[in-house]
Amino acid sequence: MWDSRSRTSSLSAMGSITTGITATIRRSPRSSRRPLRIDSASGMHAPTSDKPSAKRRSRRVIGRSVVPDSEEIIFDCRPSLWLVVLRAVPAVVPVLAGAFLLDRAFGSVRRLFGPGGVHQDGMAVDVGTWIIFAAGCISVGIVVWAVLDWLCRRYVLTDRRAIVIFGVLHQRVAELALERVQNVAVSKPLIARLLGLGHVGLASAGTDGFEIVWRGLSKPDRRAGQVRAAVVGRGT
């Protein structure tokens, strides 16, 4: 009789312990239930990291339709932000210089022939002011377009091909298989070289010019070396 009572008490205690453990697990945060990995050095179990790998982050940016899971991404980057300056300044400077010269010309006309304003609603509107305003709007538009082009431009190298993605209104994707790459060239114009930038061009046999051009890359020699190593590795 006492044995049956003690057995019943033991079973009740075990049930209470099991219920408490289950409730604790349910209340615990999800981070504590991450899968475990075995540390080869210490032999201890350690939770795996939830952070996505660089390969997964790159695929999220450029899309799985461009790089499938079977390819390994060597690098995926945008050009340097200095490319915005290199593209915008050569276009903005002539616009502002032309507006300044036109304003000076209208100033000379005003001094020779009297007021050069256009009267509208009882107010004199200076033609030179409108010229400067228009030049400012055009300059802002050029800078905005250069920034949008930078945001839409990506350079990708995988273990199978080189890819360039560009285009603001119409996105275009150009690619070249590493088996076809015959020439890897690095170009460093004067101003780009002073900023530590350069252009990397890839060409295949029997073509005029470069089929893939990565413009405004920081550390262009390093990127070209990665391409050459990938081409050699693909050929072996």
- Enumerate domains of the chain plus CATH numbers: 73-79+155-235 (2.30.29), 83-150 (no CATH)
Report pLDDT digits (tens) over 158-213. 999 999 999 999 989 999 999 999 999 999 999 999 999 999 999 998 778 899 99
Report pLDDT digits (tens) over 1-43. 434 444 445 545 555 555 655 555 455 444 444 444 544 444 4
- State residue 45's pLDDT score: 47
pLDDT over 70 (residue 51) = no
pTM above 0.85, yes or no: no
* 3-state secondary structure labels for all residues of 182-212: EEEEEECCHHHHHCCEEEEEEEECCCCCCCE
Which whole number is the average pLDDT over 53-76? 66
Report pLDDT digits (tens) over 100-122. 888 787 766 566 555 545 554 44
Q: What are phi and psi of 206, to 5 degrees?
A: 75, 20
b/e per residue 109-120 (b: at least 16 CB within 10 A): eeeeeeebeeee
Question: What is the average pLDDT score of the chain?
Answer: 76
- State residue 23's pLDDT score: 54
38 strand-pairing partners: 45
- State residue 1's pLDDT score: 46
Q: Can you tell me which residue has the tokens 């693909």?
A: 234
Q: Which of 52-66, 79-93, 107-121 has the lowest mean pLDDT?
A: 52-66
